[in-house]
Structure 1
Amino acid sequence: MTTISVTTPQLQAPAPYPRRWAALVALMLPVLLVSVDNTVLSFALPQISADLRPTGTQLLWVVDVYPLVLAGLLVPMGSLADRLGRRRLLLIGSVGFALVSAVAAFAPTAGTLVASRAALGFFGAMLMPSTLSLLRNVFVDREERRLAIAIWATGWAAGAALGPIVGGLLLQHFWWGSVFLLAVPVLVVFLVLAPIVLPESKDPAPGPLDPVSVALAMVTMTPLVWAIKETASYGVTPAALVAAGVGLASGYAFVRRQLRRPVPMLDVRLFRVPAFSGGVVVNLLSVFSLVGFLFFVSQDLQLVHGLAPVNAGLALLPGTVAMVVAGLAVVRVVRRLPAQRVVATALCLSSLGYLLVALLGGSGALAPLVVAFVVLSVGIGAAETVSNDMIVSSVPAAKAGAASAISETAYELGAVLGTAVLGSILTASYAASVVVPDGVSPADAAAATETLGGATEIAASLPAATASELLASAQQAFAGGVGTTATIGVVLTLVAAVVALLTLRETRR
Structure 2
Amino acid sequence: MSRTASTPTTETEAPRVGARGWAALVVLMLPVLLVSVDNTVLSFALPEISISLAPTGAEQLWIIDVYPLVLAGLLVTMGTLGDRFGRRKLLLIGATGFAVVSALAAFAPTAGLLIAARALLGFFGAMLMPSTLSLLRSIFQNRDQRRMAIAVWASAFSAGAALGPIVGGFLLEHFAWGSVFLLAVPVLIPLLIGAPLLVPESRDPHPGRIDPLSIALSMAAMIPVVYAIKSFAVDGPSLYAGGWAVLGLLMGALFVRRQLRSDVPMLDMALFRRGSFSGAILVNLLSVVALVGFLYFVSQHVQLVLGLSPMMAGLALVPGMAAMIVAGLTVVPISRRVPPHVLIPAALVFSVVGYLIVAMTTHDHGVVPLILAFAVLGTGIGAAETISNELILSSAPAAKAGAASAVSETAYELGAVLGTAILGGLITAFYRGALVLPEGLPADVAHAAQETLAGAYTAAQQLPSQLGDALWQAAADAFGSGVTVTSLIGAGLVVVAAVIAAVTLRKAPTH
Instruction: Indicate whether the TM-score tops 0.5.
Output: yes
Residue 493 of structure 1 corresponds to 494
Query: Which residue type is aligned with residue 233 of structure 1?
Result: V
Separation in 2, partners of 1:8, 1:481: 62
Separation in 2, partners of 1:77, 1:110: 28
Residue-by-residue CA offset, 1:122-147 (whole Å, 9 max, x unaligned): 11000000000000000111111110
Residue 261 of structure 2 corresponds to 260
Q: How big is the shift at 1:502?
A: 0.2
Relative to structure 1, is the Cα distance of residues 208 and 361 closer, same or farther in structure 2, using a 3 angstrom cutoff?
A: closer
Relative to structure 1, is the Cα distance of residues 477 and 10 closer, same or farther in structure 2, using a 3 angstrom cutoff?
A: same
Separation in 1, partners of 2:164, 2:269: 33
Q: How big is the shift at 1:167?
A: 2.2
Matches within 5 A, 1:400-411: 400-411=401-412
Matches within 5 A, 1:142-181: 142-181=143-182
Q: Is the 8 A contact 1:303 1:456 kept in 2?
A: yes
Separation in 2, partners of 1:496, 1:374: 19
Residue 12 of structure 1 corresponds to 7
Query: Which residue type is aligned with residue 93 of structure 2?
Result: I
Q: Is the 8 A contact 1:165 1:316 kept in 2?
A: no
Residue 194 of structure 1 corresponds to 195
2:210 maps to 1:209: yes
Residue 11 of structure 2 corresponds to none
Separation in 1, partners of 2:435, 2:387: 43
SS of the residue corresponding to residue 38 of structure 2 reads helix
SS of the residue corresponding to residue 316 of structure 1 reads helix
Structure 1: 5+ residue stretches without partners: 1-5
Separation in 1, partners of 2:465, 2:322: 41
Residue-by-residue CA offset, 1:65-90 (whole Å, 9 max, x unaligned): 11111111111111111011000000
Q: Is the 8 A contact 2:456 2:471 kept in 1?
A: yes
Residue 302 of structure 2 corresponds to 301
Residue-by-residue CA offset, 1:149-178 (whole Å, 9 max, x unaligned): 111122224434543333222212111111
Matches within 5 A, 1:57-72: 57-72=58-73
SS of the residue corresponding to residue 223 of structure 2 reads helix
Give aligned pairs, total.
Answer: 504
Residue-by-residue CA offset, 1:81-105 (whole Å, 9 max, x unaligned): 1011000000000111011101110
Q: How big is the shift at 1:207?
A: 4.5
Q: Is the 8 A contact 1:41 1:164 kept in 2?
A: no
Matches within 5 A, 1:347-358: 347-358=348-359
Relative to structure 1, is the Cα distance of residues 245 and 8 closer, same or farther in structure 2, using a 3 angstrom cutoff?
A: closer
Query: Which residue type is aligned with residue 418 of structure 2?
Result: L
Q: How big is the shift at 1:285?
A: 0.8
Query: Which residue type is aligned with residue 285 of structure 2?
Result: L
Relative to structure 1, is the Cα distance of residues 436 and 50 closer, same or farther in structure 2, using a 3 angstrom cutoff?
A: same
Residue 242 of structure 1 corresponds to 243
Residue 3 of structure 1 corresponds to none
Q: How big is the shift at 1:117?
A: 0.5
Residue-by-residue CA offset, 1:363-398 (whole Å, 9 max, x unaligned): 212111100000000000000000011000111211
Q: How big is the shift at 1:12?
A: 2.8
Query: Which residue type is aligned with residue 376 of structure 2?
Result: V
Q: How big is the shift at 1:439?
A: 3.4
2:499 maps to 1:504: no
Separation in 2, partners of 1:129, 1:403: 8
Q: Is the 8 A contact 1:436 1:445 kept in 2?
A: yes
Query: Which residue type is aligned with residue 308 of structure 1?
Result: S
Query: Structure 1 residues 467-476 or 161-170, which shifts more?
Result: 161-170
Residue 386 of structure 1 corresponds to 387
SS of the residue corresponding to residue 482 of structure 2 reads helix
Separation in 1, partners of 2:507, 2:400: 23
SS of the residue corresponding to residue 177 of structure 1 reads helix
SS of the residue corresponding to residue 196 of structure 2 reads helix
Q: Is the 8 A contact 1:38 1:415 kept in 2?
A: no
Matches within 5 A, 1:86-165: 86-165=87-166
Residue 287 of structure 1 corresponds to 288
Separation in 1, partners of 2:208, 2:265: 8
Q: How big is the shift at 1:8?
A: 8.1
Separation in 2, partners of 1:123, 1:290: 24
Relative to structure 1, is the Cα distance of residues 161 and 279 closer, same or farther in structure 2, using a 3 angstrom cutoff?
A: farther
Query: Which residue type is aligned with residue 460 of structure 1?
Result: Q
Relative to structure 1, is the Cα distance of residues 253 and 305 closer, same or farther in structure 2, using a 3 angstrom cutoff?
A: same
SS of the residue corresponding to residue 23 of structure 1 reads helix
Query: Structure 1 residues 356-365 or 74-83, which shifts more?
Result: 356-365
Q: CA RMSD in A?
A: 1.6
Separation in 2, partners of 1:258, 1:485: 37
Q: Is the 8 A contact 2:228 2:245 kept in 1?
A: yes
Query: Which residue type is aligned with residue 398 of structure 2?
Result: A
Q: How big is the shift at 1:16?
A: 4.9
Separation in 2, partners of 1:196, 1:500: 39
SS of the residue corresponding to residue 457 of structure 1 reads helix
Separation in 2, partners of 1:225, 1:391: 24
Separation in 1, partners of 2:417, 2:450: 23
Separation in 1, partners of 2:320, 2:406: 27
Q: TM-score, normalised by structure 2?
A: 0.96
SS of the residue corresponding to residue 177 of structure 2 reads coil
Q: Is the 8 A contact 1:344 1:497 kept in 2?
A: yes
Query: Structure 1 residues 346-355 or 12-21, which shifts more?
Result: 12-21
Query: Which residue type is aligned with residue 358 of structure 1?
Result: A
Separation in 1, partners of 2:462, 2:242: 42
Query: Which residue type is aligned with residue 392 of structure 2?
Result: I
